Amino acid sequence: MNDTQLCGTTLTPAIDSGARLPLSALLALAMAGFITVMTEALPAGLLPQMSSGLHVSQALIGQLVTLYAIGSILAAIPLTIATRGWRRRPLLLAAIAGFAIANSLTALSQWYWLTLIARFIAGVFAGLLWALLAGYASRMVAPHLQGRAITVAMLGAPIALSLGIPAGTLLGTLVGWRLSFAIMTLLTVILVIWVRWQVPDFAGEREEKRLPLRQVFTLPGVRSVLLVTLTYVVAHNLLYTYIAPFLQPSGLAANVDRVLLVFGLASVLSLWIVGNLIDRWLREMVLISAGLFLLSAIALGVWRESPSVIYLATAVWGLAFGAMPSLLQTASAKAAGDAADTAQSMLVTLWNVGIAGGGLVGGLLLADPGVGAFPWIVTGLLGVTLYTTLSARNHGFAAAG
C-alpha cells in the first residue's frame, strides 16, 4: 500500500502534481497549533491578573497550566482511538470548536473551580488536535512532500511561544485577562470558517483496517520515535521550566524575556531551515538537532556565568529544538503508516509526560544539587536520544536510500 492509500481508502492528495504545498490549508492547521499553545500558556503570562480576578493565589493559577496538560495526557490516546472511524474534517472542526467553548468559559468565569473545568476541557481537545495535525498535513500532499507539509503545519507552536505569548501577556496587561481569552475565542471562530473553506476532508479508518493500540506500539520504528520524544522533551523542559533560576549566576535573571526571545526566534529559523531538508534528510536532521542541543547544554554547564555564552548557547538550543516536533511527528507518521493518528496520539501523550516530567525532575533537584547540575542531566538524556536515533537506522529514523 502506498502513502496515498490511507485509512483503508485510496485518497487523492490535494496537490496531485506534488509540485507545491496547499499552503492555505496547511496554514489553517498551523493556526490551530498557534491557538492551542496560546491557550495553554496564557495563564503563565497573566498570573497576577488572573489571581486577582479569581481571588486565589498565583500558585493556584499556575495549576491551570498543569490541569491543561493532564487533560491532554488522559485524552489523546482514548479519544483518537474512539474517533478513528470519523471523517477527518468534522473531527478537526469539533476539536477546534472545543477551544472556543473552553476559552469562552475562561473569559466569563467568576469561579476558580469553573475555570479549572474549562482548562481541563481545553487540554482534552488539545490532546485530540495534536494527534490529528501531522497525519492530516501528510494526507494533503504527495509522499515526497509530507515532511515539509508537517513542518508548515507545526509553525504555529514556535510562533506562539516566541511572539504570541509575549504579545498576549502585553495585551492582557493593557485590556485585561478576560478580554484576552475572549479574543482567543474570536480567533477560533475565524479558524473554524477557514478550515471549513480551505481544508479538504478525508475518510476515517475502515473498521477492518484499525490496528489495536498494542499492535501500533510494536510497529517497527514506533517505539524508537517515542523513546526519543520522551528523552528529548524531558531534557528540554528541565532547562526551559527553570530558566529563571538557572540564569541567576550570569546576572540575566531579570532578562528572562530577552533570553527566551532569542530562543523563540532561533526556533522559528530552525523550522525554515529544516523544512527544506526534512523529506530527504530526516535522520540526519534529528541527529544534528540532538547534537546541537547537547553541545549547547555542555556550554551552559561550563560557562553558565557568562552572559554572552548564555545567549549564544540559547540560540543554538533554539535552533536545535524548533524543528524537533516536526521531525518527530514526520518520523512517527512514516513509521506507523495507516495507523499514523494512533501513533501520533501516543507521541502527544509522551510529549506531555515529558513536559510534566521535566518540571517534576527539575523541582526535585532545584534545592540539591541545584540548577548547576541541570545541564549535565540534560547531556545524559540527550546521550540516550542520540544512541536511540543511531540505532534506529532501519526503522523509525531510517537512513536515506
Calculate the alpha carbon distances from 352 to 176, 230, 339 in Å.
29, 9, 21
SS3 294: helix
Instruction: Look at residue 316 and tell me if it is in a domain.
Output: yes
165, 198, 231 - which closes a domain: 198
Which residue range is the domain that position 62 belongs to?
A: 20-198
Do 166 and 217 lie in a common domain? no
Residue 167 domain-assigned (yes or no): yes
**Each residue of 225-260: pLDDT tens digit?**
999 999 999 999 888 878 878 888 888 877 777 888
182 shares a domain with 111: yes
Give the pLDDT confidence score for residue 2 in this predicted structure. 33
Of 171, 198, 225, which closes a domain? 198
Number of domains in the chain: 2
Burial of 218 (0-12, 13-18, 19+ CB in 10 A): exposed
Show the low-confidence residues of the chain (pLDDT under 50).
Answer: 1-18
Residue 361 has a pLDDT of 82
Cβ atoms < 10 Å from Cβ of 249:
14
pLDDT of residue 296: 95
Amino acid identity of 367? A
Question: Is 399 part of a structural domain of the chain?
Answer: no
Domain for residue 176, yes or no?
yes
Q: Are residues 163 and 265 part of one domain?
A: no
C-alpha count within 13 angstroms, C-beta hemisphere, residue 225 = 35
Secondary structure class of 181 (helix, strand, coil): helix
Amino acid (1-letter code) at residue 291: G
Q: What's the confidence (pLDDT) of residue 12?
A: 34
Name the grid cell of 14. 490535494
Same domain, 150 and 283: no
Domain containing residue 130: CATH number: 1.20.1250.20
What is the structure's pLDDT at 18? 45
Please enumerate in sequence order all residues whose Cβ is within 8 A of that of 359, keeping only pairs 6 or more positions apart, or say none.
237, 241
Task: Specify whether 247 is located in the same domain as 169.
Answer: no
Q: What is the pLDDT of residue 7?
A: 34
Query: Letter for the amino acid at 245?
Result: P
Side-chain half-sphere exposure of 279, counting CA atoms within 13 A: 16
The pLDDT of residue 122 is 94
Looking at residue 14, its pLDDT comes to 40
Do 113 and 238 share a structural domain? no
Q: Do the domain assignments include residue 15?
A: no
Do 188 and 50 belong together in one domain?
A: yes
217 with 252, same domain: the answer is yes
Reduced to 3 states, what is the DSSP secondary structure of residue 5?
Answer: strand
- Asked if residue 180 belongs to a domain, the reply is yes
Q: Is residue 10 part of a domain?
A: no
Could you tell me which residues are beta bridge partners of residue 9? 6
Residue 341 is predicted with a pLDDT of: 81
Residue 240 lies in a domain: yes
Instruction: Indicate the residue among 198, 222, 246 that finishes a domain.
Output: 198
Residues linked to residue 10 through DSSP beta bridges, in sequence order: 5
DSSP letters for 105-126: HHHH--SHHHHHHHHHHHHHHH
Calculated CA dihedral for residues 94, 95, 96, 102, nearest 10 degrees: 100
Q: Are residues 96 and 228 in the same domain?
A: no
178 and 60 together in one domain: yes
Which residues 6+ apart lie within 8 Å of 393 measured at CB? 283, 399
Does residue 277 sit in the same domain as residue 369? yes
Query: Phi and psi for 9 in degrees, rounded to 5?
Result: -130, 135
One-letter amino acid at 106 equals T
255 and 186, same structural domain? no
Which three cell numbers mark 266?
A: 532561533
pLDDT at 401: 56
